[in-house]
Chains A and B, each alone.
Chain A
Amino acid sequence: MKASVIVFPGSNCDRDAAVALQQAMGSAPKMVWHGDSELPQSDLILLPGGFSYGDYLRSGAMAAHSPIMREVVRRAEAGTPVLGICNGFQVLTEAGLLPGILMRNATLRFICKDVLLRVERDDTAFAGHYKKDDVVRIPIAHKDGCYFADPSTLYLLENEGRIAFRYCEEDGAITEAANPNGSTGNIAGIYNDKGNVLGMMPHPERLIDPVQSGTDGAKMFSSLVEALH
């Protein structure tokens, strides 16, 4: 399996993502600079977290127009799996690969803590090692994670089963108290219509090793390896 991690100026979770991929794949992913116009053959493309372009203008807005993104969009539309984490999710929405937008957290605070997520789909390359309705613990670290989409888009997302993860309580209940940032429908992650593009605000790559006090994130990478090798 071959994976590429796209590195934008200001990305800072690219190396954690590479460690998570290396652990699951048994080989290192390629780190691809945003200014490159050539993207190696990839079974998976990962857009990592961080502060690309300092979050200037809007988070992910300028990274979405980086030279490499033309090719990333082309591959995504041709079916290559793409995983966007945090800033990567923001880039995916700004690039039009996923609908909606990530806005400033309703609390106005940068929130850095573990949250509980309910797994909404387990039949994708990304989530095959989870089970639907599992409650998993994954860290978030963001100031612009409030997911918003207009009512007709939300209707589509809900009715086509394109919600990937929702912020939830320990028993899986979807409540306002469990929602850290004001996201509509407690949405923490969504798929595109073909199911090959996943954007999520939480950081699975930060919970892959017992030394990190949890390994719920590792299942995403092992799912991908099983689906794509």
Chain B
Amino acid sequence: MKARITITLKPGVLDPQGKAIEGALHALGFGGVEGVRQGKFIEVEVAESDPARAREEVERMCKQLLANTIIENYAYELDAA
């Protein structure tokens, strides 16, 4: 199965990179742009074909390594590969 994992900063966590991107968008002439936050996208293929077990595995990957839950949230979608 294929997991598509999105890792984002929790609301309120300082995101200077997002701010820098926002500034660059403004400089390019995109007015009315605000609240730019940058995250990560990770794809993982797992051999497990049972959706519940695959979900549980991806959950553990996110908690143990892929996201630092002090400042990051994670979300994922699981499909047949």
Classify the secondary structure of B's interface with A.
helix
A177 at interface (Cβ–Cβ under 8 A)? no
User: Is B17 within 8 A of A104, CB to CB?
Assistant: yes
B residues less than 8 Å from A105 (CB atoms): 16
A33 at interface (Cβ–Cβ under 8 A)? no
Interface centre among A94, A101, A107 (most CB of B within 10 A): A101
Report how far A99 CA is from B68 CA in the complex, Å: 12
A61 at interface (Cβ–Cβ under 8 A)? yes
Report how far A100 CA is from B69 CA in the complex, Å: 10
B residues less than 8 Å from A58 (CB atoms): 68
| B residues contacting the other copy or chain, number (CB 8 A) | 11
B44 at interface (Cβ–Cβ under 8 A)? no
B residues less than 8 Å from A148 (CB atoms): 13-14, 70-71
Contact A65/B70 with A103-B14, A106-B16, A107-B16 known, Cβ cut-off 8 Å: no
Contact A100/B70 with A57-B65, A61-B65, A65-B65 known, Cβ cut-off 8 Å: yes
Report how far A61 CA is from B17 CA in the complex, Å: 19
B residues less than 8 Å from A62 (CB atoms): 65
A residues less than 8 Å from B36 (CB atoms): none
User: Is B65 within 8 A of A103, CB to CB?
Assistant: no
B75 at interface (Cβ–Cβ under 8 A)? no
B24 at interface (Cβ–Cβ under 8 A)? no
Q: List 17 A-B contacts (CB under 8 A).
A: A61-B68, A65-B64, A94-B68, A100-B70, A101-B68, A101-B71, A103-B14, A103-B71, A104-B17, A105-B16, A106-B16, A108-B16, A148-B14, A148-B70, A148-B71, A149-B70, A182-B14
What residues of chain A have their CB less than 8 Å away from a CB belonging to chain B? Answer: 57-58, 61-62, 65, 94, 100-101, 103-108, 146, 148-150, 182
- Given pairs A61-B68, A103-B71, 19 additional interface contacts (CB within 8 A): A58-B68, A61-B65, A65-B65, A94-B68, A100-B70, A101-B68, A101-B70, A104-B16, A104-B17, A105-B16, A106-B16, A107-B16, A108-B17, A146-B14, A148-B13, A148-B71, A149-B70, A150-B70, A182-B14
